[in-house]
Amino acid sequence: MEGSSTQSSSLAALTLPGPTSILLGDSPLSPRQPSRTLAERVALPLCERIVAAPNTSTSLVPTVAPQNVEFHVVTLTSGVPLRTRVPITEPSEALEYLNHPFEQENDIEAFRLVDENDAGPDPFFPEEGQHPVPSPQHLLAEGDNGYLATVMWLRMRPSCMETLSKARSEWPTFTSRQWGSRLRASKPLMKVARRTSDRPLPDEEIEPYRNPLPREREHEVWELRIFHFRLSFEHLAYKLHPRITSETDATTRGNIWAEIRDRIRRAWGTGVSSYPSYLEPRYFDSDDDLVRLRHWFALARIMLEWNIRTDLAEDLHLAMRGYVTDAAERIRAVYVALYRNAFKNRDPHVFSLRLTV
């Protein structure tokens, strides 16, 4: 029994596993390593964006559930089965692992923008309807509209990523209509598109543009959607957190926000940076049930701190008790409801699953 107690108490130290064999850029747990800028990383061709990850294991953050470990099933006392590689076999340990507030642990680093630190600042968010990157819907449009928008986006992406490396107050933003105009094919590109029915267009005829690599369009769509989702979640937290809404002093508000901001970003998972990568570690779409739910539960805990309706809070509690098989979907639904209520019934971008890389 003493051994079981030791194993249970050690669960708090476990880091959520991800595919630690690949990371984009540099690990946030290795700040002394030379690093590329965000723009440099994202501008790399897709085939060069996979790099060997440094060993991020420490005594506080052990590597758990490596990908070569076989799955086993932990069945909660409610009867809900969870498929996992995490070295947990008891239902009580599984619930402890799921409900441990790892996002509050300062040992786990959270990515920060150039102007962000422990003291703030009071954040800047784009005005409603203004966006620093386009909606993925532009790239998903049917026929030539979506194809040519993707070609245009690949051309402008490096400069866009460069601006996203700056403070948010320096980000240029555009409406959805303006983004549609910016992604409309240029005259030289349209001239080639009208001259030939070949799709994709001949590479040699569209320079300095380029065609997307196989599945690159799918990757870009996912990255844009997740960027919108993460930014919107932070914005919603700022609007609904009572410690923020009750504070009138900007400096004090910035101090409060820094703590909230870092908790949110720890919930996204280690190995994640300010702009998403399709190849980043999988947490919210992990095939490991314990890993996936632990991150969704972190978002639920964060939302429970906000000013929200009693029925929505109860939905979050229900999702986290281990009695339902659709916990992640319930947490996602609460976020959507809160967003719509706060932003004039607009539909938010929400987390979407990645297909196998």
Residues 6+ apart with CB under 8 A from 347: 336, 340
Residue 187 lies in a domain: yes
State the DSSP code for 119: T
Indicate if the pLDDT at residue 27 is higher than 60.
Answer: no
Domain count of the fold of the chain: 1
Helices (H), 44-197: 91-99, 136-139, 143-164, 176-182, 187-195
- Which 3 state secondary structure label does DSSP give 174? strand
Q: Report whether 82 contacts 104 (CB < 8 A).
A: no
From CA 275, how far away is CA 1, in angstroms rounded?
A: 46
Given a cut of 80, is residue 326 above it in pLDDT?
A: yes
More confident residue, 286 or 25: 286
pLDDT given for residue 65 in this prediction: 56
Question: How confident is the model over 155-173, as a mean pLDDT?
Answer: 97
Q: What is the pLDDT of residues 115-150, one digit of tens each?
A: 999 999 999 999 999 999 999 999 999 999 999 999
- pLDDT band, residue 356 (cuts 50/70/90): low
pLDDT in tens, 222-241: 999 999 999 999 999 999 99
Q: Binning pLDDT at 50, 70 and 90, where does residue 345 land?
A: confident
Domain holding 177, by residue range, is: 136-214
Predicted local confidence at residue 276, as pLDDT: 97
What does DSSP assign to residue 83? E
The answer to whether residue 191 is domain-embedded is yes
Measured between alpha carbons, how far is 279 from 356 in angstroms, rounded to an integer? 10
Q: What is the pLDDT of residue 29?
A: 33
Helix, strand or coil, per DSSP, at residue 117: strand
Q: Is residue 45 part of a domain?
A: no
Number of H helices, E strands in the chain: 13, 4
Question: Per DSSP, what are the bridge partners of residue 52?
Answer: 22
Q: Sorting pLDDT into bands at 50, 70 and 90, what band is 19?
A: very low
Q: In 59-142, which residue ranges form alpha helices assigned H by DSSP?
A: 91-99, 136-139
| 6 burial level (CB within 10 Å; 0-12, 13-18, 19+) | exposed
The reported pTM is 0.83
How high is the pLDDT of residue 68?
76
pLDDT exceeds 50 at position 210: yes
Nearest alpha carbon to residue 278 among 208, 222, 323 = 222
Is the model's pLDDT at 156 over the cut of 70? yes
Which tens digit of pLDDT belongs to each residue from 244-257?
Answer: 999 999 999 999 99
Q: Is residue 247 included in any domain, yes or no?
A: no
165 found inside a domain? yes
Residue 71's pLDDT is 97
Q: Is residue 140 domain-resident?
A: yes
Q: What is the model's pLDDT at position 69?
A: 86
User: Taking 90 as the threshold, does the pLDDT of residue 54 lie above it?
Assistant: no
So what's the pLDDT on residue 352?
93
Nearest to 350 by CA among 341, 334, 342: 334
What values do phi and psi take at 217, rounded to 5? -60, -45
Q: 4 vs 309, which has greater pLDDT?
A: 309
Least confident residue range of 5-19, 70-84, 329-343: 5-19
| pLDDT > 90? residue 336 | yes
Taking alpha carbons only, the member of 151, 143, 110, 39 closest to residue 267 is: 110
Residue 107 pLDDT > 80:
yes
pLDDT at 144: 97
Mean of pLDDT values over 152-176: 97
Confidence category of residue 40, pLDDT binned at 50, 70, 90? low
- Which residues are CB-contacts of 141 (< 8 A; sequence separation ≥ 6)? 149
What confidence score (pLDDT) does residue 91 get? 96
| 329 closest CA partner among 319, 321, 338 | 319
The answer to whether residue 151 sits within a structural domain is: yes
Residue 155 lies in a domain: yes
